[in-house]
Copies of this chain bind each other. A is one copy, B any other.
Amino acid sequence: MEPNINAGSMDSHCLEIRMEPHKVVPPPPRSTLQKLKSRLKETFFPDDPLRQFKGQPLKTKFILGAQYIFPILNWGPNYSLKLFKSDIVSGLTIASLAIPQGISYANLANLPPIVGLYSSFVPPLVYAVLGSSRDLAVGPVSIASLVLGSMLMQEVSPNNDPVLFLQLAFTSTFFAGLFQASLGFLRLGFIIDFLSKATLIGFMAGAAIIVSLQQLKGLLGITHFTKQMGLVPVLSSVFHNIKEWSWQTIVMGFCFLVLLLVARHVSMRKPKLFWVSAGAPLVSVILSTLLVFAFKADHHGISVIGKLQEGLNPPSWHMLHFHGIHLGLVMKTGLVTGILSLTEGIAVGRTFAALKDYRVDGNKEMIAIGLMNMVGSSTSCYVTTGAFSRSAVNHNAGAKTAASNIVMSVTVMVTLLFLMPLFQYTPNVVLGAIIVSAVVGLIDIPSAYHIWKIDKFDFLVTLCAFLGVIFISVQEGLAIAVGISVFKILLQITRPKTLMLGKIPGTDIYRNLHHYREATTVPGFLILSVESPINFANITYLNERILRWIEEYEAEEDIKKQSTFQYVILDLSAVSSIDTSGIVLFKDLRKAMEKKGVELILVNPLGEVMDKLQKADEARDLMRPDNLYLTIGEAVSSLSLTILKGQSSTMCGEGT
Q: Which residues on A are within 8 Å of B, measured CB to CB?
A: 22, 25, 27-28, 32, 36, 42-43, 46-48, 190, 193-199, 350, 354, 357, 362, 450-451, 453-458, 485-486, 489-497, 499, 504, 507-509, 511-512, 514-517, 531-533, 535-541, 544-545, 548, 573-574, 576-577, 579-581, 583-584, 588, 591-592, 595, 604, 606-607, 610, 612, 615-616, 630-631
Contact = CB atoms under 8 A, between A and B. Distances in A.
A576 B496 contact: yes
A509 B22 contact: yes
B540 A362 contact: yes
A46 B457 CA distance: 20
Contact of A196 (B458, B491, B492, B535): B535
B492 A490 contact: no
A547 to B, nearest CB: 9
Given A574-B531, A580-B454, A197 B541 contact: no
A583 B451 CA distance: 11
A261 B106 CA distance: 72
A491 B43 contact: yes
A483 to B, nearest CB: 12
Nearest to A194: B537
By CB atoms of chain B within 10 A, which of A36, A490, A595 has the most?
A: A490
Given A454-B615, A509-B630, A537 B197 contact: no
A642 to B, nearest CB: 22
A588 B359 CA distance: 13
By CB atoms of chain B within 10 A, which of A32, A350, A450, A535 has the most?
A: A535
B198 A536 contact: yes
By CB atoms of chain B within 10 A, which of A491, A493, A615 has the most?
A: A493
Copies in the complex: 2
A583 B514 CA distance: 23
B28 A515 contact: yes
Contacts of A196: 535-537, 579, 581
Contacts of A508: 508
A581 to B, nearest CB: 5
A607 B540 contact: no
B509 A580 contact: no
A490 B504 CA distance: 35
Contact of A536 (B197, B491, B517, B545): B197
Contacts of A540: 190, 193, 350, 362
Given A354-B588, A495-B46, A615 B453 contact: yes
B494 A36 contact: no
A580 B194 contact: no
